[in-house]
Structure 1
Amino acid sequence: MTLLPELPAYAWALLVCAGFFVGISKTALPGISTISIAIFAALMPAKESTGALLVLLIVGDVFALLAYRRHADRKALIRLIPAVAAGLLLGVLFLWLADDSGVQRVIGVVLLLVVAVTLWQRYRSPKEPSDRAALASRIGYGALGGFTTMVANAGGPVMSMYFVAARFPVKAFLGTAAWFFAIVNLAKLPFSIGLGLITPGGLLVDLVLIPGLIVGAFVGRWIANRIKQELFDGIVLVLTVLGAVYLIL
């Protein structure tokens, strides 16, 4: 008897693709992680998929830090801590009380609203935001990012929108995101274990998928060294919208 879930060959192929996309998301295109979320949620029970994907994301964080650890905006990270911590705790409470149904749709709707607000803010005023607007943006995105990453590992698209709205250059974007999610995902680990989200079977699935993640991380690094800022921002926005629509449907 094996602890690995009994899945058809096509399901394993999709999970390998999900691992590959996690690697790319950590070193090049954060929004693409929503595809991995969707694949895991479609093939595993929602809460168990959250735990299995979290461990895979932590492995991906190692590669992101190796690549971009020197490019982070540390002041931006420190300023995000209070709002993100509040969002994480709210997410823990939500997971404790909620069942699997409806969680994905709620997050999908939230992501679409985040994209809309980000685009409105960005194209309404090309200038730097005021201190008050920057504070409101930091609190809103930070709390929402903490909540969505705890509930469904969907904080990547939310925080991508924050970094896009704040006009981070590509390397600063990836470096700040690398440190942000390395810290946040490790902080989530004890809660996920306590809530029973991480299982032996899920850990074995992660072990199978790590080689694909490593390949994706190197492919992502190749992309990041060649992509232009405008194209990078556009791809992040499009991937976030597509992932949100999938979660809703």
Structure 2
Amino acid sequence: MITDPLFYAAAIPAVVLLGLAKGGFSGLGLLSMPLLSLVLSPVQAAAIILPILLVQDAVSVWVYRHSWDRRNVMILVPSAILGTGTGYLLAAQVSDAAIRLAVGLIAVGFALRRIVLERRKTPPAPTRSDVPRGIFWGWVTGFTSMIAHAGGPPFQIYVMPQRLARDVFIGTGAIFFAVNNWMKVPPYFALGQLTPENLATAAALFPLAIASTWAGVRLVRYVSGERFYTLVYGLLIAVGAKLIVDGAGMLL
């Protein structure tokens, strides 16, 4: 188990951000990897984060178990499995930086466009969950999640235009990403990343992971449905901008 105080100075806020994201503030969790990467290699940071995510998923799935869209999950999961498999097979050939840059540009462009459209006098009607788009964005989510831990923006690009109720939107993401994160376990084992040291370090952070997820669940209740979507669009722009900066910086 890691005992370096400097590691925990970065890990504690990283886990809190993950918990708030799992509780409903979608997007905040993407800041966790950069924080941990300040004190660890990105590979080891990802290996420590995965068990923490699985514990936080259990909390969010339990809370939102009655509030999720079954059709969306059934469309997204099979294609996400294919995307995760593709990411595993191409992990050595695909540039993490290029993926981050591309996802960031798409996320920012999408969010800005939706904000402009929804502020018109006659905002666009909510879209429906459809198989072709769901398969595409499910695959992209699985692929980017496996390669660059950036699966949130593609998921939001597909689901947010549907204007689901706040809790249904959060619950759908909770169920979907719980399945998606379990899909990563075999590849991580195969790559030798789930070592006893990494697992023990993650286990030490489990109490904080659970508490911060519950805090996110409680805090998001104070945000109305309309303000929730405005907040998520804002977070999506911030996350997209962070991905653009990270990707461009890595490429340069």
TM range (shorter): 0.7 to 0.9
List runs of 5+ in structure 2 lacking aligned partners: 247-252
Relative to 1, partners in 2 of residues 1:11 and 1:159: Cα closer, same or farther, differing over 3 Å? Answer: same
Contact 1:161 1:237 in 2 (8 A): no
**Residue identity in the other structure for 1:193:** F
Contact 2:21 2:216 in 1 (8 A): yes
List runs of 5+ in structure 1 lacking aligned partners: none
Normalized per residue, the structure richer in helix is: 1
**Out of 158, 162, 165, which is 1:166 matched to?**
162
**Out of 40, 63, 68, which is 2:64 matched to?**
68
**Residue identity in the other structure for 2:203:** L
**Out of 27, 30, 45, which is 2:26 matched to?**
30
| Count of matched residue positions in the alignment of Structure 1 and Structure 2 | 240
1:139 aligns with 2:135: yes
Q: Distance in 1 between matches of 2:235 and 2:101?
A: 12
Q: Distance in 1 between matches of 2:150 and 2:204?
A: 22
Relative to 1, partners in 2 of residues 1:15 and 1:130: Cα closer, same or farther, differing over 3 Å? Answer: closer
Note the aligned Cα RMSD (angstroms).
2.3
Residue 47 of structure 1: CA displacement?
1.9
Q: Distance in 2 between matches of 1:119 and 1:140?
A: 21
SS of aligned partner of 1:70: coil
Contact 1:96 1:195 in 2 (8 A): no
1:245 aligns with 2:241: yes
Identity of aligned residues (%): 25
| Normalised TM-score (structure 2) | 0.84
Q: Residues 109-155 of structure 1: CA distance to partner in whole angstroms, max 9, x if unpaired?
A: 31331341354367286024478xx4443233211111111123321
Q: Distance in 2 between matches of 1:78 and 1:118?
A: 25
Q: Distance in 1 between matches of 2:33 and 2:228?
A: 21
Q: Residues 59-91 of structure 1: CA distance to partner in whole angstroms, max 9, x if unpaired?
A: 110110111011111111111133212211111
Relative to 1, partners in 2 of residues 1:130 and 1:53: Cα closer, same or farther, differing over 3 Å? Answer: closer
Residue 230 of structure 1: CA displacement?
2.5
**Out of 97, 109, 118, which is 1:116 matched to?**
109
